[in-house]
Amino acid sequence: MKIGLLGLPNSGKTTIFNALTKSEAEVTAYANNKAEPNIAIVDVGDERINTLSDMYKPKKTTYATIELVDFIGFAKGSAREGSISSAQMSLIKTMDAIALVARNFSDDLMGNPTPCTDIETIDTELLLSDLIVAENRLERIAWNFTRGKKTTELESEERVLRKIQEELNNNRHISDLDLNSEEERLIGGFQFVTKKPLFVILNSGEDNFGHNDKIIEDLRRKYKIIEFSGNFEMELSRFSSDEETRLFMEDMGITESAHNRLTCFAYEMLGYISFITVGTDEVRAWAIHNGDTAVEAAGTIHSDLSRGFIRAECFSCDDLIEYGSEKGVRDGGHFHLEGKGYKVKDGDILNIRFSV
């Protein structure tokens, strides 16, 4: 799953990217003109996987991952200040989710922070972009109608596009609309941006971090939001040893690393859960959608496993940690066999029985 970091120039996108990926992409006081975004694969922090890895001592430990894309600043000198170029918009359309980064630290160059209006500026861009797509298509449909091409399919498409147009004109995202599966199908090809899961990263300074209740409350009316301190977290990510990091975090009264906090938040936001496979070869977390069944889970491991699915041997990771061994879980009566239709829960440890 790909998450695009989007925000006005100097909101701290690259800083956050670096903090999360421990990379050293160039942080600049000016929007740079580099054409390519920075891309990195980031592990989703999961303490359970660490614990299981200690228990099984596998050759390999694999976390679920998300792909993070740090966009270049908004096009400078384009028609509107802060507008998104069409090349960038095409890239944004390929993302699974969008994180809007808002500057909440004072900066010599940019002055006092205005996170709420900054978010509104970008949001308006996204709404406009979708509106243009919808209206172009509506024009095209109208043109077809005048030519006598009035199929029921086109009429249905027109109806759902009108709904979308009204929603966007009211400054609301398409994701807020309750569309049925037929409507979803009709608009599936448009890759509307405001249909994607979206959340705000409030990038606070070291000095005001944790003291932004009012701003967070305001933004929360419309967005899911997480507060972060990019600069501080980037410094933190550069410590060479875990011990050093831990001590520094303790000093600042931080219990969980930003990396864990942000990746877990994004993961949940996107409606993902993890199931786990264990063994002496590998302990591994697998990402599936909340609500996926055992046979779908099997398919994420390998298509053979879903094709030849017989049953899933299943127990929860929490039980394993509590009882200390698989035998303990069995003796405690928490081991169960499940069929194809079983809805997998977050933290389920699965062993798929199959034959092909």
Ligand X SMILES: Nc1nc2c(ncn2[C@@H]2O[C@H](COP(=O)(O)OP(=O)(O)O)[C@@H](O)[C@H]2O)c(=O)[nH]1
The residues that touch ligand X, with contacts defined as CB under 6 A, are 7, 9-15, 27-29, 31, 73, 105, 107, 203, 205, 229-231
Stretch that binds Mg ion, among 7-15, 111-119, 142-150, 289-297 (CB under 5 A): 7-15
CB of 91 to Mg ion, least distance (A): 14
For the range 302-311, what are the long-range contacts, defined as Cβ-Cβ under 8 Å and sequence gap of 24 or more?
Answer: 304/354, 304/356, 305/352, 305/354, 307/354, 307/356, 308/354, 308/355, 308/356, 309/340, 309/352, 309/353, 309/354, 310/353, 310/354, 310/355, 311/337, 311/338, 311/339, 311/353
**For ligand X, the closer CB: 28 or 290:** 28
CB of 259 to ligand X, least distance (A): 15
CB of 53 to ligand X, least distance (A): 32
By the 10 Å C-beta count (0-12 exposed, 13-18 middle, 19+ buried), 264 is classed as middle
Q: Is 212 in the site for Mg ion (CB under 5 A)?
A: no
Backbone dihedral angles phi then psi of residue 253, each to the nearest 5 degrees: 75, 30
N-term to C-term CA, the chain: 30
Q: How far apart are CA 304 and CA 300, in angstroms?
A: 10
**For ligand X, the closer CB: 258 or 287:** 258
**Residue 283: strand, helix, or coil:** strand
**For Mg ion, the closer CB: 13 or 284:** 13
**For ligand X, the closer CB: 155 or 206:** 206
Q: Is 203 in the site for Mg ion (CB under 5 A)?
A: no
CB of 117 to ligand X, least distance (A): 16
Please give the structure tokens belonging to residue 219: 């933004």
CB of 29 to ligand X, least distance (A): 4
**For ligand X, the closer CB: 16 or 350:** 16
By the 10 Å C-beta count (0-12 exposed, 13-18 middle, 19+ buried), 280 is classed as exposed
Q: Is 14 in the site for Mg ion (CB under 5 A)?
A: yes
Q: How far apart are CA 287 and CA 275, in angstroms?
A: 7
**For Mg ion, the closer CB: 32 or 245:** 32
CB of 32 to Mg ion, least distance (A): 6
299 binds, among ligand X, Mg ion, none (CB under 5 to 8 A by kind): none
Residue ranges binding Mg ion (CB under 5 A): 13-14
